[in-house]
Amino acid sequence: MWTDEELSQRIDQTVEWLRTKVAEAKAEGVVVGISGGVDSAVVTGLCSQAFPGKCIGVIMPSHSDPEDVEDALWIAEGFEIRTLEVNLSGAHTQVMGQVKKGLESIGCNIVAEKMSQGNLKARLRMSTLYAVANAMNYLVVGTDNAPESYTGYFTKYGDGGVDLLPISSLTKTEVRAWARMLGLPMRIATRVPTAGLWPGQTDESELGITYDQIDRYLLGEEVPPEVRERIESLHRQSEHKRQMPPSFVLPKLERLD
């Protein structure tokens, strides 16, 4: 494990990295979406240190558990950052309703409605973050950690569509250690991870493995063969999420003299 001095040093390095990247972009500050979970709480803490007075937390419920909003507000107040709440429930219902109606009108059978609804939530949230960031000349800071980045457990052009990723090299265990150093309580650090994409949804139930197992795999430790195969399969299947979209380049036509 890490000493408090080592953790503090790594946090300071990350804070300085955030300042450098924002300065390079000639931006004024940062925007972060706060969900109430430990990842967004840690990123909020980092952003508040890097940009006191120039950090905005955006809370975006979408048919969400009221407790998520309460925790998000508590986190923002603890780090003394400004917040705004944009309720996306109505927008989500309207867009999804029109999509379903349109597909049915052209004779299409909807085969993955839950996934479509969940990913739409993530993409509406990211669009909202960029609306705020563009208005303020801020950058959007993402909250994906190392297990999520490696397995592709993020929505393409949703929570994966950001300007900066300060904790994407941290295991979940490290994120929780940073949470302690930043003064967050155990109830936030040990909260059941969920993206809030639908009622009862949890990260680990979707992944089919635990964060602890992914952490150990990423650290080069021994894991059961079925766990290793699951992680490697998720990594292969999600490779497209970590790459720019492929571009077709037409061959040059030879000139005929």
Residues forming the active site: 39, 148
Residue 120, C-beta contacts closer than 8 angstroms, at least 6 positions apart: 92, 95, 96
Contact call for residues 171 and 144 (beta carbons, < 8 A): no
Q: What are phi and psi of 233, to 5 degrees?
A: -65, -45
**Rounded distance, CA 172 to CA 199, Å?**
23
As given in the structure block, the two tokens for residue 55 are: 């950090």
Give 243: exposed, middle or buried? Use CB within 10 Å, 0-12, 13-18, 19+.
Answer: exposed
Contact call for residues 91 and 61 (beta carbons, < 8 A): no
**Cα distance between the two ends of the chain:** 71
